[in-house]
Amino acid sequence: MWAGGSTQVGANSVAFAEHWNGSSWSGSVALPGAEYDVFNAIADDGAGGLWGVGWQTPGLGYFQMGQQYDGSQWSMAALPDAGENNNNLYGLASAGTEAWAVGYATGVPQPLIEHFDGTSWSIEPNPGQPGRVLYAAQRVGGQIWVAGDGLILRRSI
């Protein structure tokens, strides 16, 4: 089992993932991307590693952040531009080498769904309404379910 969050490294908060192997925990500090970094969700990347998504604060506002772990080291994910500031990823689901991250984008919250197709991330259109935030994503059989503020979405994969 994996869990994500952040840990203090010097004066900064750095994204952190911990693994439970059935008898003990071991941790893995992610790449410091900004003054504060946090993993809100962790998921298997389908290739023996992990995805971690959340937020970072390089200045004012919250900015989405994603990293991939290959089993030995973390690397920053090239996420699509979700707006100038105040965007965050809260949930993550994977299916094989594909992944879906959910949260909100730009200023007044607007639902945000991003999809990794095995090669690159892109923003997906979604039927969400402005002012809504998406908090969770889960694969159930051949579908991805997404839930947020008064909103439940599903998509066949």
Which CATH number fits the domain that encloses residue 22?
2.120.10.80
CA separation for the pair 47, 10 (Å, rounded) = 32
Model confidence at 35: pLDDT above 80: no
Tens digits of residue pLDDT in 55-111: 888 766 778 999 999 988 889 999 998 876 788 999 999 998 999 999 998 766 789
Model confidence at 132: pLDDT above 80: yes
Number of domains in the chain: 1
- The secondary element (H helix, E strand) that includes residue 108 is none
Which residues constitute the domain of residue 114? 2-156
Question: What b/e sequence results for 20-53 when a residue is b if at least 16 CB atoms lie within 10 Å of its CB, and e otherwise?
Answer: eeeeeeeebebebbbebbbbbbbbbbeeeebbbb
DSSP 8-state code for residue 21: -
